[in-house]
Amino acid sequence: MPDPFEDQGGTATMDPSALVRWLTSKLMSHWIAPPSTARRRAAAERKRQRSEAPHRVEYFHQVEDGYSHLAAQLLRPLLEHYDVQLVCHLVTVENDRNLPEPELLLALSRFDASKVAPHYGLHFLEGRKAPDPAQVKRAEQILAGVSQADFPEAAARVGDAIWAEDAAGLEAMAAHYGAVSPAEAEAAIARGTARRAELKHYSAAMFHYGGEWYWGADRFHHLETRLTGYGARKTDGQRLLCPRPAIEHGPLKDNGSLTFEIYPSLRSPYTAVIFDKAVALAQATGVRCVIRPVLPMVMRGVPATMEKGWYIFFDASREAAALGLEYGPFYDPIGEPVRRAYSLYPWAREQGRGTELLSSFLRAAFFEGVNTNRDAGLRRVVENAGLSWADAEPRVGNDGWEEELEANRLAMYAFGSWGVPSFRLLDSQGQEVLGLWGQDRLWLFSREIQRLLRQS
């Protein structure tokens, strides 16, 4: 990794921001590297075996969260198929620097859960609005009082009731399981939230095992794979309970009647993992591909904590490995490197190489550890994109690109997304079919493309 104490001409300097970027990138690159992950996992397993402790999985549930309802449906199967000790907690998600817009996230969870549930063999009713706050409180009173043995079944049944707006069914469960007082429920939620903070996380629908976090149904396959590797599977067969669906490139091909929009960011680890595969999906299926880049969230004023950053970079590495990619080393391009690259994007697009420029930048920053703030690093990006550095260099720092990226951000917010990468699929009439956030939703868009082509 390049020396942070050198400027572009090689003269020794002492740039504090460059030093911080270099140190953080170096530490994170080492920590997320597969050999480091393997060593941490091996150490955790040796410690568990020495103490003769069970495989302990902790789960953190938020009643009004759509993703939690999907995760709750996996609790009983987890116990049936794996030799684990399951400890369940109730939590709330607070408006803080980790999740600055929790209400938007809850709304997304309802819509998103309804879309992915059938593909995971789970259920969530479509078109759900926010559940009745009184029913949420009642559900919390029920779940706060149930035993750990009863929680898996109770969480799924209570969730079914509140999402179906079945007040009578909820009261029947209160009669069956019992219900604690509102104060006792609040205390239980406070304990669960504190336990999650102790383990250094901030979200709901989370599983914690052996020092790592697994988010709901979407990361359950990572947890299953790890448990299976430790011999904790009780049942025969290798099929996972909740495997990640594959990205489908066929069999049907489009003639450009459908439009697939990709909203990337040049500082997003998740974008780096999936960008090339998203472009490849469009090319393989024949849909019209439109790239709509946006500024990174942090550069848009959305706060982020170190705790959240460490989780995201590790999770992106784990997701990359599942896709057969060797993620890292990386060199964080936050700030000026991103601006410098975006200043070249309009010109690169005019040359027919705009997508290649973005791909080259993401690969350099997140897979090759290139310092893209230096001219040498940016030149490498430009030339690997099939462009001329002699033509590009005078254009570095140009303005005029900001308005386009802001228009892209507003378009993304308009379909309910505020993070990257986001995707949107439009039909032959230009009407939105699906718009969602997340590199782990590309498989869903691939299936939607095939569904639309079957109907045409």
Q: Give residue 301's pLDDT.
A: 63
Mean pLDDT along residues 9-20: 58
Residue 296: domain span: 259-455
Q: Is the pLDDT of residue 7 over 70?
A: no
Is residue 421 within 8 Å of residue 264, measured between CB atoms? Answer: yes
Are 398 and 355 within one domain?
yes
**Does any domain span residue 289?**
yes
Please state, for a pLDDT cut of 90, what percent of the chain lies above it. 87
Mean pLDDT along residues 59-70: 98
Q: Give residue 2's pLDDT.
A: 44
Give pairs for 175-182: CB < 8 Å, separation 24+.
177/142, 177/145, 177/146, 177/150, 178/142, 178/145, 178/146, 179/138, 179/141, 179/142, 179/145, 180/141, 180/144, 180/145, 181/141, 182/137, 182/141
**Does any domain span residue 390?**
yes
Q: Give residue 379's pLDDT.
A: 98
What CATH code is carried by the domain that includes residue 145?
Answer: 3.40.30.10
Are 316 and 365 within one domain?
yes
Identify the band that residue 16 occupies on the pLDDT scale cut at 50, 70 and 90. confident
Are 296 and 430 within one domain?
yes
Are 306 and 427 within one domain?
yes
Are 64 and 115 within one domain?
yes
Q: Is the pLDDT of residue 11 over 50?
A: no
**Does any domain span residue 253?**
no
Q: What Rg do the C-alpha atoms of the chain give, in angstroms?
A: 23
Q: Is the pLDDT of residue 324 over 70?
A: yes
Q: Give residue 52's pLDDT.
A: 97
Q: Is the pLDDT of residue 10 over 50?
A: no
Please tell me the total number of residues recorded for the chain in this structure: 456
**Does any domain span residue 25?**
no
How far is it, in rounded angstroms, from Cα 224 to Cα 140? 28
Identify the band that residue 8 occupies on the pLDDT scale cut at 50, 70 and 90. very low
Are 225 and 281 within one domain?
no
Alpha-carbon dihedral of residues 385, 387, 389, 392, nearest 10 degrees? -100
**Does any domain span residue 23?**
no
Are 75 and 115 within one domain?
yes
How far is it, in rounded angstroms, from Cα 73 to Cα 336? 45
How far is it, in rounded angstroms, from Cα 115 to Cα 171? 29
Mean pLDDT along residues 278-292: 98
> Shortest CA distance to 319 belongs to which of 363, 269, 358, 362?
269
Mean pLDDT along residues 86-108: 86
182: alpha, beta or left, given left = phi > 0 and alpha = psi -120 to 50?
alpha
**Does any domain span residue 2?**
no
**Does any domain span residue 17?**
no
Last residue of a domain, one of 185, 209, 229: 229
Q: Is the pLDDT of residue 6 over 50?
A: no
pTM for the full predicted model: 0.94
Q: Give residue 167's pLDDT.
A: 97
Nearby residues of 385 by Cβ (< 8 Å), 6 or more positions away: 348, 353, 356, 357, 359, 360
Q: Is the pLDDT of residue 14 over 60?
A: no
Q: Is the pLDDT of residue 309 over 50?
A: yes
Q: Is the pLDDT of residue 38 over 80?
A: yes
Are 281 and 220 within one domain?
no
Query: What is the average pLDDT value for the chain, to the nearest integer?
Result: 93
Mean pLDDT along residues 421-427: 98
Q: Is the pLDDT of residue 208 over 50?
A: yes
Q: Is the pLDDT of residue 96 over 80?
A: no
Are 218 and 263 within one domain?
no
Per the structure, the count of domains in the chain is 2
Is residue 434 within 8 Å of residue 378, measured between CB atoms? Answer: no
Last residue of a domain, one of 229, 251, 279: 229
Mean pLDDT along residues 378-392: 98
The pLDDT tens digits of the residues spanning 178-191 come to 999 999 999 999 99
The pLDDT tens digits of the residues spanning 217-259 come to 999 999 999 999 999 999 887 799 999 999 999 999 999 999 9
How far is it, in rounded angstroms, from Cα 119 to Cα 122? 7
Is residue 234 within 8 Å of residue 83, measured between CB atoms? Answer: yes
- Is residue 51 helix, strand or coil? coil
Q: Where are the alpha helices (DSSP H) in 244-335?
A: 269-285, 306-322
Are 100 and 187 within one domain?
yes
**Does any domain span residue 254?**
no
Q: Is the pLDDT of residue 30 over 90?
A: yes
Last residue of a domain, one of 207, 229, 251: 229
Are 366 and 271 within one domain?
yes
Are 285 and 430 within one domain?
yes
